[in-house]
Amino acid sequence: MIMHPETDSALILTLSLSELTKKLQEGSLNPEEVFYSYMEKTLDLNKDLNCCTGILLESFDQMKTLDSNRKGLLYGVPVSIKENYGYKNYDSSCGVVINLDHPAKEDSVLVEVLKKQGAIPFVKTNIPQALLNYECSNPIFGQILNPHNPLKTSGGSSGGEGALIGGGGSLLGMGSDIGGSIRLPASFCGICGFKPTPGRLSSQGLSSIYRGQKSVPSCAGPMARDVDSLALCMQALLCDHMFSLDPTVPPMPFNVQIYQSSKRLRIGYLESDGYTQPSPSMARSVRDVKALLEAAGHTLVPYRHLNLEYAIVELVVKGAVSYTVLFNLLRFPAGVVPVSTVNAEDEEELKHYKGVYQDQWDKLFKQAVSGGEGLPVGVQCVTLPWQDELCLRLMKEVEQLVKQSKA
């Protein structure tokens, strides 16, 4: 790859999505400069993290033939996509050997809409075998590493997305979530991730390893460095073009007014769900965010789940992701915002961790989170079905208050 000598790649890579789109729209940056800056960073990062499965070579041609009128909310923005997203002439193996050499005959609906909005899907990202794992490796593409600590996992199943964005190789990516597969890697890698209400975004052209599973559907959703980027992506995708391509999706455009509202909120919170004891860093982060929200004038109400053990044991059959999978079961929108990092006091307190049931799962949890000093910690925000904009609004509130508290 040949970069323009005047291109300041370091500066381009620091721009937020909103800053980048503004410069691309006004013409002070051109798509080629941005494209090659991110392509170079991604190739370099992949050497260390193994977060990608392949470059989408058609992206080079798309970049050169973008609409000269700079149309689209994501004009000129390089976007990474999870390996199971259909992209014409490329495999969506889901990390399973039998699915190799079966390239997609056409783009998935969301890839087509991204292109319509001026975005450039440029790379596919790595996943765990069969997608159903919160660790991230497969026998085809290998192990994905955490960008903050190579001894730790990036999380799964959208682990390649989490690692790539968390490492600075992409500023917007598309993942999928059926039990926490967007929110877990987002939390592990220190970025933001959003699982919309099932059916809000099209799933046509997304591959999975199981057939006929209807009760808890997989959801496509964005992953990014900040909440505004998630909101902009949702706004771009929830357009007439998507509604016409997939008539099963309700024609509900993004409600900007709800997202930008400053109305005080009444928020339920829980430090522990009573089924999986959180690590000290997780519990502390919830307490800290609660205090920030209360200081900002919001009302915080203690909350507990009803019949959680029945839901997890009988309906989901998963002692390990109770904090995320419940909201797939209930079809609630949910997102993750990074708020803190594991500190030495958290690690010391973890030595006394017993868990709720003090069984093998609790022992494995303690072992998995040990040695995490310096790693990011996120909190999850949840709202009722179809209140996606309100969920993003709460996430934005948390993000801003945490940022102000550190200033």
| DSSP-assigned letters across all residues of 157-190 | SSHHHHHHHHTTS-SEEEEEESSSTTHHHHHHHT
Cα–Cα separations (whole angstroms), residue 347 to 152, 218, 319? 15, 34, 22
Task: Name the catalytic one among 37, 80, 82, 137.
Answer: 82
Distance CA 140, CA 162 (A): 19
Sign of CA dihedral 25, 27, 33, 37: negative
Assess whether 181 carries a catalytic annotation.
yes
Q: 240: helix, coil or strand?
A: helix
Look at residues 184, 143, 137 and name the one whose alpha carbon lies nearest to residue 162.
184
Active site residue 157: yes
Q: Is the Cβ–Cβ distance between 199 and 242 less than 8 Å?
A: no
Residue 12's SS3 state is helix
Q: Which of 80, 93, 108, 157 is catalytic?
A: 157
Our answer to whether residue 354 is catalytic in this structure is no
Paired residues of 88 in beta bridges: 104
Q: 79-94 burial string, b = 16+ CB within 10 Å, else e?
A: bbbbbbbbbeebbbbb
Both tokens assigned to 402: 């945490």
Catalytic residue among 92, 181, 203, 279: 181
Q: Which residues lie below 8 Å from residue 300, measured CB to CB, with a gap of 6+?
A: 267, 268, 269, 290, 293, 294
Nearest Cα neighbor of 140 from 94, 204, 197 is 94
**Residues noted as catalytic:** 82, 157, 181
